[in-house]
Amino acid sequence: MIYKATIVEWEAFTNFSRNNLLETSKRQELLKTRVYEFGGLEFVFFIVVGVCLNKTKKKSSGNQNSYHHAILGFRRYSYYELKVATNNFSNEIGRGGGGVVYRGKHRILVYEYMENGSLAENLSSKTNTLDWSKRYDIALGISRVLAYLHEECLEWILDCDIKPQNILLDSNFQPKLAYFGLSKLKNRNDLNNNSKFSMIRGTRGYMAPEWIFHLPITSKVDVYSYGIVVLEMITGKNPTLMNIEGEDGEMTYNGSLISWVREKKRSQCWVEEILDPAIGTSCDLSKMDILVRVALECVEEDMDIRPNMSQVVEMLQNNERVVE
């Protein structure tokens, strides 16, 4: 059986008074006010943060803009101007006696500034400041460099172009061997000690006879060139310009620097005759004698008679000849 009922009237009673209702309404209004206040503070906070970030961004962009302004201050070149300036973007840098020089990818060795220029500049200068002591130290320094290249480094090196132009002097007049454009690497395990070259290397006046007569090329070619450089330092005379005039203007000698020194050394006053006038008479005679002897041994035509560079170092350091 199913009963069906209908609610005709609903009556409810509450214990809340009018005062309670007013108090509740006030609390709701206060809560709304605080919510609005908090929301306003939060809005202000975000505005302040945004302004600060905007200023920082403007400051950094201002610095960046100033940097770009500094860069853009340079002149802008058009593609056509660059093409003309580089000769259609050619890799050719220049041309010289040895051929065409092209731009390469190899790195450049940069070393300390050589304050006193090259040995050649000092020997040819009218204000020559190379006294005897400096010249002897330069000769000893070059011999040490060549001894290292020939006998001590991992791969032995033949310089093949020893001359005053390739010897630089630092602030203390210590020599530095500067140019290795014609040098040759040698395998230190090569028992024959010979190198094959497709062409003659060196500079006229400083080249060993082996180059001319197509003899085996060894480290003795550098020994020969070293001897010529030492003779040039002693005499102040260029080995390629040996036309010597007398006081009356007549030609008194026309030959090689080696022959001239050997001829003068036979006389009693050979020191005064061959010594560079720029040095004067203030030289150590014992060191002068050993340096001339070493230089003449280095320029012997027979390469087997020449000393090696370690022997040259020993002779100059001990101020005596090495007897084998």
Residue 33 belongs to some domain of the structure: yes
Taking 3-state DSSP, the helix, strand and coil percentages for the chain, each rounded to the nearest 5, stand at: 45, 10, 45
Are 74 and 209 in a shared domain? no
CA distance 93 to 103: 6
* Known catalytic membership, residue 161: yes
Residue 109 belongs to some domain of the structure: no
pLDDT-derived band at 56 (thresholds 50, 70, 90) equals low
Q: Which of 38-47, 57-66, 103-112, 162-171 has the highest mean pLDDT?
A: 162-171
Residue 244 near residue 253, CB atoms below 8 Å: yes
Are 276 and 148 in a shared domain? yes
Residue 152 belongs to some domain of the structure: yes
pLDDT-derived band at 82 (thresholds 50, 70, 90) equals confident
Residue 99 belongs to some domain of the structure: no
With the C-alpha atoms ordered 234, 231, 150, 302, is the resulting torsion angle positive or negative?
negative
**Structural domain range at position 63:** 17-80
Marked catalytic residue, from 159, 161, 222, 276: 161
Residue 120 has pLDDT above 70, yes or no: yes
pLDDT of residue 191: 47
Are 66 and 175 in a shared domain? no
pLDDT-derived band at 221 (thresholds 50, 70, 90) equals very high
Residue 26 has pLDDT above 80, yes or no: no
User: Both tokens of residue 278?
Assistant: 């720029």
Task: Collect all residues with Cβ–Cβ distance below 8 Å to 277 and sequence separation of at least 6.
Answer: 236
Residue 317 has pLDDT above 60, yes or no: yes
Residue 197 near residue 217, CB atoms below 8 Å: yes
CA distance 150 to 159: 9
Residue 253 belongs to some domain of the structure: yes
Are 63 and 161 in a shared domain? no
> pLDDT tens digit string along 257-289?
999 999 998 888 888 889 998 887 778 888 999
The pLDDT mean for the chain works out to: 79
Number of domains in the chain: 2
E strand intervals along 37-192: 92-96, 99-102, 156-158, 167-169, 175-177, 184-186
Decide: residue 234, CB within 10 A, 0-12 exposed, 13-18 middle, 19+ buried: buried
- Mean pLDDT of the region 51-77: 61
Q: Give me the percent of the chain exceeding a pLDDT of 70.
A: 70
CA distance 46 to 40: 10
CA distance 271 to 220: 27
CATH number of the domain bearing residue 261: 1.10.510.10
pLDDT of residue 208: 94
> pLDDT tens digit string along 1-23?
455 555 455 454 445 455 554 55
Are 188 and 293 in a shared domain? yes
Model's pTM, two decimal places?
Answer: 0.64
